[in-house]
Chain A
């Protein structure tokens, strides 16, 4: 099970930290990703991290503004989102990769479990 939290309303230029609490599997053995969906639009991969946490990857649209991290002792995935823009308004999903390695952090084996999502609204 994956459970996101930390979403909400934030002003342009503001920051948030999204969390994803994992249970039911050995968290450290799997890469994780964040995927978002702008209301009425399609899915967009945002960021991925390998099982150990040493390798991180970002979409060009968020590079330099978002930071993915994980605490394997707490079975939790994070996404620090800074310098938020209106176009970052979306439902943010955490998703589990099919293995631990770096290409699994980028969906090579698909994302086999997803959370219910956390809504981030960027508006003044």
Chain B
């Protein structure tokens, strides 16, 4: 099972919005509404930011939002803050192929 495709890096200034894409296939992202997004600061445990394409867990700021169109899912971070600087990973249920993660996107807040 190939990894989902994410841009290696993204950046924005404080207060701006940035969108990170996650492209898969009809066997994973496009086939199910089971895409999740994780924030990972090196040395810390990953944190669930979005589940089931667009659901935001309790405690996650509403600056984080998720969407999907066809085989591509997206994570948008609005009103960028310094603490948003981290690695972000998408993940999709993939049926018989189980689970696939994206390669990760390093978000820089300039």
Interface residue range, chain A: 20 to 34
A43 vs B88: C-alpha distance when bound (angstroms): 10
Encoded as 1 (CB less than 8 Å from any A CB) or 0, chain B from 77 to 110 comes to 0000000000001011110001111111000000
Minimum CB–CB distance from B105 to chain A (whole Å) comes to: 10
The answer to whether B3 touches A109 (Cβ under 8 A) is no
Chain A residues, Cβ within 8 Å of B38: 43, 111
15 residue pairs bridging A and B, Cβ less than 8 Å apart: A35-B46, A42-B101, A42-B102, A43-B40, A43-B101, A44-B101, A45-B91, A57-B98, A59-B99, A106-B93, A107-B34, A110-B57, A111-B46, A112-B48, A113-B48
Known: A45-B100, A111-B48. 16 other contacts (CB 8 A): A45-B98, A48-B99, A59-B1, A93-B45, A93-B46, A98-B51, A103-B34, A106-B98, A107-B36, A107-B92, A108-B93, A110-B48, A110-B91, A112-B48, A114-B46, A116-B45
